[in-house]
Amino acid sequence: MLLYCAGNMNPQVLAGMAERANAKNWLETYAHKASQNCAKYFASLECVHLGFQLFIDSGAFTAWKDGKAIDHDGYIRYAKDLREVAYCPVVFASLDVIAGSLEGDNPTPNEFRAAATKGWQNYLKEKAAGLKTIPTFHQGDPWDFLDLMANDTDYIGLSPRKVNTTTPEKAEWLNEVFHRIDLMGKLPKPGNMQNALKTHGLGVASPVLMEYYPWYSVDSTRWLQGGNGYYFYFDGSRIQLIHSSKWKRHVENKSGETISAIRHYKPPLQANLVYYYHEQAIRADAECNAYMTEHWLERGVDWNIAENS
């Protein structure tokens, strides 16, 4: 399983942190120039020794939140240009269309179908332009679009509804999605990896969901909170955090280990502390990624089999 750290900052600084934290998987978005700059640098010859893998997001969710449109032709040109110069593996999300709005009423079935139809048209346009992309199936979209995607490509995105939806409702929807994938004969499981459908979980990078569903990849912006007064660490199965308000006193975690003054782990005074705590969070994500990969390997979900078949 691939856990993509999503987010950007100064490209050279971020690449250095990623190297020290052994974090090789990064998601950047077309929606922000700073993120485009990170993607360009990470994909360059200068970073080839770091072994990065990139996931380029179309920016559809950002545009949906802000009520802005994405230049589809511009995105296609950007993706093709980056693909031509990249020295590392790069995958591209299709420009999906999300029904409704961030603060509006729940979309009607007709609105969900209209959005899904437009998103599918965008995917086909990208395909016709010679760009292989990952279409996204959203919670609320008609089920026939899941069939369309699974029959046309080997890698799709799955996006639970971000507003007016409870966690149990999201889980019920994901259960149904993977059940239908199983009925298609495409569920990742022992003996079926050559036929397995790759899925990318958008906004579902909780440890419970990563352990329960056989994702190919997920993404998380958690590391960005490292500069906001949080110390992140991986405890062997979960990512934990300690707020700076507790750093000056002894704190015991669930295993009974005393985390005495996290300041003990601070870098020299001349170091940038914001970057330092970002780096700790990135390292926690990388360690979580390794744990989840091993978790699924023990259950026979080995994506190397699928990719080498």
Model pLDDT for residues 176-213, shown as the tens digit of each residue: 999 999 999 999 999 999 999 999 999 787 889 999 99
Confidence at 37, pLDDT banded by 50, 70, 90: very high
Mean pLDDT across 287-298? 97
What pLDDT was estimated at residue 277?
A: 84
- 64 with 178, same domain: the answer is yes
> Is residue 129 within 8 Å of 172, Cβ to Cβ?
no
Task: Tell me the pLDDT of the chain averaged across its residues.
Answer: 89
Q: Out of 201, 227, 253, pick the residue that ends a domain.
A: 227
Domain boundary among 180, 203, 227: 227
Can you give the pLDDT at residue 256? 52
User: What's the pLDDT band for 306 if we cut at 50, 70, 90?
Assistant: low
Query: 3-state SS of the chain: helix, strand, coil percent to 5?
Result: 50, 15, 35
Q: Are residues 171 and 197 in the same domain?
A: yes
Compare 105 and 181 and report the one with higher pLDDT.
Answer: 181
70 and 104 co-located in one domain = yes
Do both 172 and 208 map to the same domain?
A: yes
Percentage of the chain beyond pLDDT 90 is 72
User: Percent of the chain scored above 70 by pLDDT?
Assistant: 89
Domain boundary among the residues 183, 209, 227 is at 227
Domain shared by 174 and 200, yes or no: yes
Backbone angles phi, psi at 136, to 5 degrees: -120, 130
Predicted pLDDT at 251: 52
Characterize 35-45 residue by residue with b for buried, 16 or more Cβ atoms within 10 angstroms of its Cβ, and e for exposed: bbebbbbbbbe
- Shared domain check, 103 and 162: yes
**Alpha helices (runs of H) in the chain, residue ranges in sequence order:** 11-21, 33-42, 60-66, 72-85, 109-128, 143-152, 167-183, 207-212, 273-297, 303-308
Q: Mark whether 87 and 187 lie in a shared domain.
A: yes
Answer yes or no: do 63 and 156 share one domain. yes
Same domain, 13 and 31: yes
The CATH number given to whatever domain includes residue 180 is: 3.20.20.105
93 and 179 housed in the same domain: yes
Count: domains in the chain: 2
Residue pair 25/31 in contact (Cβ under 8 Å)? The answer is no
- Structural domain range at position 232: 228-309
Spatial CB neighbours of 258, under 8 Å, sequence gap ≥ 6: 250, 251, 252
Same domain membership, residue 291 and residue 261? yes
| 115 and 150 share one domain | yes
pLDDT at 273: 66
If you write DSSP's letter for every residue of 127-183 in order, what string do you get? HHTT---B-EEETTS-HHHHHHHHHH-SEEEEE--SSS--HHHHHHHHHHHHHHHHH
pTM above 0.85, yes or no: yes
